[in-house]
Amino acid sequence: MKRLPTWKKFTTLSLVFILGLLPLASCSSDKPDTAAINGSQANRAQQQAPTKLADGKYEVQQATFDDGTGVYTAFLLNTTPPTFRSSALQMARLTPEEEKAGEKGYLKVTNGQAALHIPEKFQISYVHNVTEEKTNAQTGQKETVVVRQESSFWTPFLGAVAGNMVANALFAPRYYMPPAYSAGGLRGYGGSGTSYNQAIGQYQSRYGSPPLAVQNQRALRSTGLSRFPRNDSASRSMQNNRSTGSGYGSSNLRRNNDQQYRSAPRSGGFGSMQRSRSFGGMRRR
Amino acid sequence: MTSWRDRFNKMTGQTRFVVCRLFLHLGGEQVAPLLGVLNRSAQEALESDGDLNVLGEGLVKICESLLQYDSMWASAANEGNVFWDEGEAGDFVQELFTDSSQRYMSEPDTTASSEQTDLYAPATRNVVVMITVAYEGEVPALETDLTKDIAIKEGLKALISLHYQEKLRAVQVHFSPARFGDELDPDQLLLNFPELSPL
């Protein structure tokens, strides 16, 4: 980042401070926190907006991880809302000093980034989703349907030092992917990294495929393509105002499924399509 | 072009998502072989069940081919948006998919003239490639007006780097016509890709 003049720095910093306090006042209404997913609700849970917490330290009573959505839910003590939900949660092991001081585990939010600091033997409840893949006849999109759920537990830091990680790195917040599911409980981690993608990458290179939550999030779409080459006899000189074409795409971004964006001026084809913060050499009529 | 909000969000450590789409129209006698590269990448993408790594590799191949075909670039357009909310970016990606796919017929009428299997196929003189990606971070080479040769070159190179930096969160490629032997004529081009501006 560029160096800012001191007065500017001061104003931005003070703004951060003021805005940082705002959520404290405004987040008193707690949303229903039913984490239970029945049937094909996996996608819906995934779209639940992550909870926002003001910067600070919160005592954690319990935490769960849902491998169908990749969402962590932390149950906090003396906090409203009492639960914190996020898929981009970093974790770190409590330092020996902290453990000696009787620390049980806490959630620390710094600059909006949450990190779960937990002792070595802390068990995270692990909800395992048994899924089946189905193609939605309407959209042609592949969807993962949850058939049933099993529960287990995950101790990310138990025996983790045995791996190739430098001990110091354990105490700094990082992203972790759980190891491959086993009914008797999970130990250690399947991948870790300083970024979410890096953790996924490490998991993938170990197990050959990305974690379930990432697979579920991934939406492959294609048009005009089939898995098997067509018999080449399609008509060539079509009296049509469109030519042929094909397309494919995949994304691992979460979706809000917000109507606001779908009905943005663009689809109407008239009006100015100047969204705020748009760029490009494309002008629509 | 960093706005106040941009700077603020960056300071508070939020992830910046960018979704952008590039249209590149190639014209000339020799453009048809490009369809081979595009179809191969499409098949690989389907076979991998949408593995972003595989799609990223395909994107690299496509960008490299496009760079080799630079003498045939005829017109281009691009658009994009910055998001601070992953869900909004995801929605926009889906919206662009639908928009891109509406510009061609994905289910050609195969009953019309299936009796003839002529060996002679007129090679199309026009190919349009639509590339949409979503990535994390900031890439100035892509977040600009890409209707100049030099800008497109930088943009395509930036797309290639994004794959190797593992920053791609979504990859989409659409192309028209679909196969060797299909034709995209100037009228269809004008009608379905009105935003293209000549290079």
pLDDT tens digits for range B125-169: 899 999 999 999 889 899 888 888 999 999 999 999 999 998 999
pLDDT interval class at B67 (50, 70, 90) = very high
pLDDT of residue A42 exceeding 70 = no
* Residues of chain A neighbouring B178 (CB-CB closer than 8 A): 224, 243-246
Task: Kindly give the interhelix angle for B52-68 and B149-164, rounded to the nearest 10 degrees.
Answer: 150
Nearest residue of chain B to residue A209 (CA atoms)? B51
A228 lies within 8 A of chain B by CB: no
Query: Would you state the structure tokens that stand for residue B188, as one six-digit string?
Result: 């269809």
Asked if A142's CB is within 8 angstroms of B49's CB, the reply is: yes
pLDDT of residue A150: 83
pLDDT of residue A250 exceeding 70 = yes
Catalogue the E-assigned strands of chain A: 56-66, 71-76, 83-86, 90-93, 106-110, 113-118, 124-135, 142-155, 174-177, 186-187, 191-193, 219-223, 246-251, 278-279
Dist CA B89 CA B94 (whole Å) = 9
Dist CA A230 CA A49 (whole Å) = 42
Question: Pairing between strand A124-135 and A174-177?
Answer: unpaired
pLDDT of residue A126 exceeding 50 = yes
Dist CA A257 CA B92 (whole Å) = 9
A119 lies within 8 A of chain B by CB: no
Query: Would you state the structure tokens that stand for residue A150, as one six-digit string?
Result: 């099993």
pLDDT of residue A284 exceeding 90 = no
* Residues of chain B neighbouring A136 (CB-CB closer than 8 A): none
pLDDT of residue A43 exceeding 90 = no
Place of tokens 């290079």: B199
Give the model confidence (pLDDT) of A154-163 as tens digits.
988 876 554 4
pLDDT of residue A197: 80
pLDDT of residue A54: 82
pLDDT of residue A246 exceeding 80 = yes
Choose the weakest-confidence range: B26-35, B102-111, B181-190. B102-111
Question: Pairing between strand A246-251 and A219-223?
Answer: antiparallel
Kindly state the percentage of chain B with pLDDT values over 90.
Answer: 40
pLDDT interval class at A281 (50, 70, 90) = low
Distance from CA of B100 to the nearest CA of A (A): 8
pLDDT of residue A161: 53
Give the mean model confidence (pLDDT) for residues B57-65: 95
pLDDT of residue A201 exceeding 80 = yes
- The whole-model pTM stands at 0.59
* Residues of chain B neighbouring A242 (CB-CB closer than 8 A): 103-105, 176, 188, 191-192
pLDDT of residue A140: 63
pLDDT of residue A9 exceeding 60 = no
Give the model confidence (pLDDT) of B72-94 as tens digits.
999 999 888 888 888 888 888 98
pLDDT of residue A241 exceeding 60 = yes
pLDDT of residue A230 exceeding 60 = no
3-class DSSP assignment, residue B27: strand
pLDDT of residue A137: 65
pLDDT of residue A232: 41
Cα-based angle A277, A280, A282 (whole degrees, multiple of 5): 115
pLDDT of residue A37 exceeding 60 = no
Distance from CA of B81 to the nearest CA of A (A): 5
Give the model confidence (pLDDT) of A68-116 as tens digits.
778 888 888 888 778 888 877 889 988 888 888 888 889 988 887 889 9
Dist CA A9 CA A172 (whole Å) = 27
pLDDT of residue A143: 66
Asked if A261's CB is within 8 angstroms of B195's CB, the reply is: no
pLDDT interval class at A237 (50, 70, 90) = very low
pLDDT of residue A101: 87
Of residues A178 and A136, the one with the higher pLDDT is A178
pLDDT of residue A23 exceeding 50 = no
